[in-house]
A = this chain, B = another copy of it.
């Protein structure tokens, strides 16, 4: 298949903002990785690792080029680390003759489930075209097979659907040309956290961020590879404290500004390819958060010019949220105006209090941005009124929302972040909410991030560290080398889509622990900067450890599998 993408420009895209985005340099970096091991997975009672445990196959990876495989052969390659890139390999035939094509199914696994469950019978409400398998037919060998599509994976399952009785095939020179905006030579602070789990959480955060940093900050490189505002804010924050690629953030901000709608609101997400275009998805809180992204960027980069250029967009992006305010009480009322309010996917979440807090948080950021730019802060009056109005949500020492006085982490986190209450009041309300058995918990890492951000704002360092170790640490213990789109410690097959095989296991909105660990928490956890280290070296250490971990389990695994069989 030859991808000849026909480029067409689109009406309604602001050409001056688009030009700034296009002219902000971002080169996709490329490097190669090879598979490290031929493995299989054996069942385990431990739910935390998908109920599976890797075991070495009978074959060493160095034997791969000399192994031959015929109809029905099935093996898994482990590259040792999550990657985003393009697969190629040399397919060779042996035997009498290649007198028929070779039909292969290649399944790209971010998780062990991808390469063990098969891709049949998946019922999800999002597209099954996202499933990471390809069936290819090869007429002649030897042939270098280079797949044109990009995949996100650590494991590659190879199924030889058929050859013929006269020939088998061999695989050699298997490699992934990895891509990211961040090269292997890119250097970041090397930090000793004096705690292996925190060390791992920091590394997995950075790997997640790096693999999502492509031509834009992608939502997830496996699926839904678009630029979303909610994810972008979190990625940009983590980026400022780690990889510090300011240009990529700038590109993305201007892309959003370029596709702003007629009423000045900003779409929740955009498509940067095959041509820059807004998605029809719209989220009131994402729209408003665009202002914070610009503010964060100006603070982190010192690029005041961008602040000036985008000032009109910053002002317009909160208008639809502001339309939700009761003109008398200045309280955010979810049904007063239109547009989806997100905050989190938690079921039954009442979004009044959280949205109020979020909007107030955004308006304060705009006022701060105005000060940086030497402008008059535009929202001082409304900020005062909203802060005053916010007291309606504080009842009996906790934050409540809606007619049922619902307690939720979402309300608590955003009202803390709104800075509408004295710190001690805010801290007590947040802690009380988190201890309350009826409080609606976050479903997504996205909201868990804001819970952490709120905890730090009220100096709850230990609580924040505990949360990070439990939640993100839980994924690490379950085998993550990038953080997931969703995580349920009790159910390794949990999915918001109805089937875990459509989940993304490297997802932008879960990449922020490094932001906290390298920021406010660095001294609290006793971490210290020990120097600088290249990304390639960090990756290499991770591969070495992940392979070592498998190797040490290998003999047990093989023995147990044989016993099971």
A residues near B (Cβ < 8 Å) are 1-6, 8, 71, 90, 96-97, 99-103, 125-131, 134-149, 161-166, 223-224, 226, 271, 273-274, 277, 279-280
Contacts and interface: CB of A to CB of B under 8 A. Distances in A.
Contacts of A271: 97, 99
B99 A226 contact: yes
A129 B161 contact: yes
B1 A279 contact: no
Contact of A135 (B100, B135, B147): B135
A313 to B, nearest CB: 22
A280 B137 contact: no
B162 A129 contact: yes
Given A2-B146, A129-B161, 20 more contacts: A1-B147, A2-B144, A2-B145, A2-B148, A3-B139, A4-B146, A5-B142, A97-B277, A97-B280, A99-B279, A100-B129, A101-B127, A101-B129, A103-B127, A103-B129, A125-B165, A127-B162, A127-B163, A134-B137, A137-B149
B99 A224 contact: yes
Contact of A5 (B101, B136, B143, B277): B143
A149 B143 CA distance: 14
B140 A274 contact: yes
Given A6-B143, A144-B4, A279 B97 contact: yes
A112 to B, nearest CB: 23
A109 B376 CA distance: 71
9 tightest Cβ-Cβ pairs between the two chains A and B? A100-B127, A103-B129, A127-B164, A101-B129, A129-B162, A4-B144, A2-B146, A6-B142, A96-B280
B146 A1 contact: yes
B97 A144 contact: no
A102 B280 CA distance: 19
30 contacts: A1-B1, A1-B136, A1-B138, A1-B146, A2-B146, A3-B139, A4-B143, A5-B140, A5-B142, A5-B143, A6-B144, A8-B142, A71-B127, A96-B279, A96-B280, A100-B223, A103-B127, A103-B128, A125-B165, A126-B164, A128-B161, A128-B162, A129-B137, A129-B164, A134-B135, A135-B135, A137-B149, A140-B274, A141-B274, A142-B274
A3 B140 contact: yes
Contacts of A128: 103, 161-162
Point out which of A1, A142, A273 has the most chain B C-beta atoms below 10 A from its C-beta.
Answer: A1
B273 A140 contact: yes
Contacts of A130: 100-101
A1 B143 CA distance: 10
A298 B414 CA distance: 92
A269 to B, nearest CB: 9
A90 B8 CA distance: 14
A167 to B, nearest CB: 9
A145 B4 CA distance: 7
Contacts of A103: 127-129, 131
A168 to B, nearest CB: 12
A127 B160 CA distance: 12
Nearest to A97: B279
A129 B143 contact: no
A65 to B, nearest CB: 14
Contact of A139 (B8, B140, B149): B149
Contacts of A3: 139-140, 143
A147 B138 CA distance: 12
Nearest to A139: B149
Nearest to A7: B142
Contacts of A142: 5-6, 8, 274
Point out which of A71, A140, A279 has the most chain B C-beta atoms below 10 A from its C-beta.
Answer: A140
A520 to B, nearest CB: 36
A125 B134 CA distance: 24
A164 B279 CA distance: 14
Nearest to A145: B1
A490 to B, nearest CB: 29
Contacts of A145: 1-2
Contacts of A99: 224, 226, 271, 279
Given A129-B162, A164-B127, A1 B140 contact: no
A309 to B, nearest CB: 27
A280 B149 CA distance: 37
Contacts of A273: 140
Contacts of A137: 129, 134, 149
A54 to B, nearest CB: 28
Contacts of A141: 274
A338 to B, nearest CB: 17
B163 A129 contact: yes
Nearest to A4: B144
A96 B5 CA distance: 19
A1 to B, nearest CB: 6
